[in-house]
Amino acid sequence: MATERLPRRAGAAALSLLALAGCSMAPAYRPPAIATPAAYKEVPGWTSATPQDAAPRGDWWAAFDDPVLNDLEQRAAQASPTLAAALARYDAARATARASASDLFPEIDASGQAGRQRVSANRPLSSGSAAAYDNYVVGASLDYEIDLWGRVRNSVTAARADAAASAGDLASARLSLQAAVADAYARLRGLDTEADLLRRSVEAFTRAYDLTATRHDGGIASGVDVNRARTVLANARAQISAVANERAATEHEIAALVGAVASDFAIAPRIQQPGTLAVPASAPSTLLQRRPDIAAAERRMFGANARIGVARAAWFPSLSLGLAGGWQTTGPSLLSAPSSFWGLGPLSAVATLFDGGRRAAEVKLSRAQYDEASAGYRDTVLAAFRQVEDALAATRHLATQAIEQRDAATAAQRTSDLALTRYHDGAADYLEVVTAQTEALDSERALIAVETIRMRAGIALVKALGGAPTA
């Protein structure tokens, strides 16, 4: 009967340990409640949102239908050092999570030993004769920490949360890189258009200067008119150089983004109308939840909550179990039954009685880190709302500004043409021509700037929404 009770007692003890192992010192996880607006201020309509941080972003830049931009985005995805660094950090976080998860399982070691030794005849309790013998040992051992208070499980949870946060960081880095390439490309094409405008203006100003010089030679125009024409022409030529310098810097910026050496990288100039991205009015409510930086901030907060449980578990004793077994012999019959040995234990418990306040400080530290992560999460969400509102406001107001600026540029060009005609007919002085030409050039450059900013605002909106709008 006694022998029957032992397995029962052992089973009951095992069940008790398993029940205790289900304990966790981590607080119940509750993400902070953040008040969300019923609608965006800068766009009418709102649709109930569901988290979509794992949804695919797609090749959103393809909406511009620009083969050069498509190629740059692909090159950036393959060769950007910034993206490579983010990927390496993600791989490191995943490896750390796998290393932490290994603590959930027992550690098993195998060992083998072979030797020959001689014992003295004068040893205590000897028979008075020396002896020599061989010794062969083959065995294995098992060590396992019984996770009574959830220290190991919470550590694994925190490491996995860090890996998930790193995945969000990787997605955020990829989206930021895509937006940076598209933004720099938009500025580059805007500069190409501006440079073309300046070249055409120089040609027109050259003709006006030649006309003024001819009239001066004929005694019709004064030297003041000639100098005014020369000033306008020289300023336009100087602006060409300034735009060329800015374009070169932008081209070098794109080279760095796509992982190319600036000396070996070039983009052929091309005149094109800047494109815009059409974002559905109902998209922000859905796509805001897809932002990878918000997902990363939430996972960091979750991991910080689990680490509170790790710090709390240090107040309780740790329990570990050892198991060893194998074969030992002095002769050739190593694997025979009489040569076997085994040992259960030790079952050890270690409890810290005094640590000078270290554990209490670590609990406070973990709570403070959770509070920091919680505040960071809230800050990230608020910043996301602000960025979306900014981008929506920019796309709406810039559309109106572009219409008005186009009208202004058209009117200024008509004024310039009329002023030159009046000067040619002797009905106006050259100051009127210079003023009209300058205003026409400034209006055209302002229109190019507005159209470029519109394209950049669309890119900023896609980035703020966490990716490409989906139907």
Q: Residue 1: what pLDDT?
A: 43
Listed in sequence order, the DSSP H helices in 218-331 are: 223-257, 283-287, 292-313
| 355-370 pLDDT tens trace | 889 989 999 999 999 9
Find out whether 154 and 309 touch, Cβ atoms under 8 Å. yes
pLDDT at 6 exceeding the cut of 50: no
pLDDT at 67 exceeding the cut of 60: yes
Q: Domain extents for the chain?
A: 23-105+148-318+356-464
Determine which helix (DSSP H) or strand (DSSP E) holds 119, and give its type and residue range. strand 107-119
* Exposure class string for 211-225: b at 16+ Cβ within 10 A, else e: bbeebbeeeebeeeb
Q: Residue 282: what pLDDT?
A: 44
The model's pTM is 0.81
Integer angstrom CA distances of residue 235 from 323, 392, 438: 88, 37, 10
The mean of the pLDDT values for the chain is 83
| 226-262 pLDDT tens trace | 898 899 999 999 999 999 999 999 999 999 999 999 9
Region 405-422: what's the mean pLDDT?
Answer: 92
For the domain 23-105+148-318+356-464, what is the CATH superfamily, name and number? Answer: Outer membrane efflux proteins (OEP) (1.20.1600.10)
Residue entry with tokens 């550590």: 155
Integer angstrom CA distances of residue 257 from 179, 237, 250, 465: 11, 31, 11, 22
| 176-188 pLDDT tens trace | 999 999 999 999 9
